[in-house]
Amino acid sequence: MKTMIKLSLNDRKISLDIWTPYFFIIRDLFFDGRWDAFMCIVNDNRLLEEQIETCKKIESLYPEIKAELFYPTTPLEIRDFLNQYRLKPSDLKGLCSLDVLYDIANEALLDEDYELTKEYAELILDIDDSSAYAYDLKGTVLYDQGKTKKSIEYLEKAVELDNTLVEALSTLGQAYFNVHEYEKSSAIWKRMIENNPDDVLAYFTLVDSYIHQKKYHDAISALKGLVQRFPKHLMGKINLVTLLQMVGDREQAERYEKEIENTHPLNPTEMEIWARINLQKEKYEVVEKGIKEFMSKHGGPDFLKLWLVVPYIKNGQKEDAKQIVEEFKDSNILFNYGKHEIFDPFLEESEIWECELPC
């Protein structure tokens, strides 16, 4: 190993080589910044022990020397370091912490640096082949790259090793859904709800899985569970209304519609649901008043004005309706949203033509 520099400290000479700075990186990556923990992997490796002792002396004299001075690093450099000191990754198993590597790998995944994420996952698995999170990382990378069937192998292994790993369960459920294995997908979403009854997304994905299996009554049960857990969840209720109508249970559907009618919406999405139900009941004055009060209180959003077009037209305020249409004439929202979600469902063709609405 080629020596870079020799230091004379208190009449003692300290030899530094190209790997000496890297010991600070390894200490912080694997041993929580502790030299004593690092020493646990030394065994009979005299060269490794000498380098650690050297770094301890340097740090005692120059406390400002930190691992951050030598970052960034890569999995390949870590492997080169281990090879240099005749260590196998598996020698670290049970003697080090992998939390920092998990964090770095997750940052790479969030940055969509899939190759780097994969390299970290493989390094972690070489250190600890029972790391559920490493299997989750590999599976998620494959899933994000569109290799869904291959991703399932790794995600299943992650869940087998740790059945509480929410990220792996979630991705695995979506992977099964995407390859049309809806029964497996619904089983996973049910498990997620059991683990965390407040996971709203899990309810809706479970419902989608049931609908694809034509298990409409199971889908209704799942939505009832959501509404029971969150009594004010209008999206759950409107979906429940649709499914109840589909299976012919008009009485229950009307009960949930009534609950929606009497709700005070807290956000624009809830306001859309509320307005739709009340327009179906031809409560035009109620919708007009509710939309105006909501927009006055919250300062918008402007697209909610489109819900005023129907009440205005039905109540003979055609010029007011035309004024709103004029505001949005240069926006795609008038056709893509206004026409399909509001005008077509609630207005006669003659009313649409008369008020110069998009056809």
pLDDT tens profile 123-150: 999 999 999 999 999 999 999 999 999 9
Which domain-ending residue is among 95, 112, 131? Answer: 95
Q: Is residue 219 part of a domain?
A: no
Q: Which residue's entry shows tokens 């037209």?
A: 313
> What confidence category does residue 60 fall into, taking pLDDT thresholds of 50, 70 and 90?
confident
Are the C-beta atoms of residues 120 and 129 closer than 8 Å to each other?
Answer: no
Mean of pLDDT values over 285-313? 94
Strand duo 12-17 + 3-9: pairing: antiparallel
pLDDT at 66 over 80: no
Is 206 part of any domain? no
Q: What is the pLDDT of residues 82-102, one digit of tens each?
A: 999 999 999 999 999 999 999
**Residue where a domain stops, chosen among 69, 95, 121:** 95
- Which DSSP helix (H) or strand (E) runs through 9? strand 3-9
Q: Is residue 225 part of a domain?
A: no
What is the distance, to the nearest Å, from the Cα of residue 201 to the centroid of all Cα atoms in its chain? 10
CA 177 to chain centre: 16
Q: How many angstroms separate the CA atoms of 29 and 327, rounded?
A: 58
In the prediction, which pLDDT does 42 show? 86
Does residue 180 lie within any of the structural domains? no
Residue 119: both structure tokens together:
């390299």
180-185: list long-range contacts, CB under 8 Å, 24+ apart: 180/212, 182/209, 182/210, 182/212, 182/213, 183/209, 183/213, 185/209
Reduced DSSP (H G I as helix, E B as strand, rest coil) percent helix, strand, coil of the chain, to 5: 70, 5, 25
Residue 136 lies in a domain: no
The dihedral over CA atoms of 202, 207, 213, 215, expressed in degrees to the nearest 10, equals: 130
Binned at pLDDT 50, 70 and 90, residue 241 comes out as: very high
How high is the pLDDT of residue 12?
59
Q: How far is CA 115 from CA 86, 144, 233, 344, in A?
A: 26, 12, 41, 49
Give residue 78's domain range: 1-95
Q: How many domains does the chain have?
A: 2
The answer to whether residue 36 sits within a structural domain is: yes
Domain finish residue from 54, 77, 95: 95
186 assigned to some structural domain: no
- Each as own residue / partner, the long-range contacts of residues 144-151 (CB below 8 Å, 24 or more positions apart, any chain) are 144/109, 144/112, 144/114, 145/114, 148/175, 148/178, 148/179, 149/179, 151/175
Which pLDDT score is estimated for 69?
62
Q: Kindly indicate the confidence band of residue 7, based on its pLDDT and cuts at 50, 70 and 90.
A: low
| Residue 105 within any structural domain of the chain | no
Confirm if 37 and 44 have CB atoms less than 8 A apart: no
237: left (phi over 0), alpha (psi -120 to 50) or beta: alpha
**pLDDT above 70: residue 68:** no
**What pLDDT, in 10s, does the model give residues 257-266?**
999 999 989 9
Residue 357: is it exposed, middle or buried by C-beta count within 10 angstroms (0-12/13-18/19+)? buried
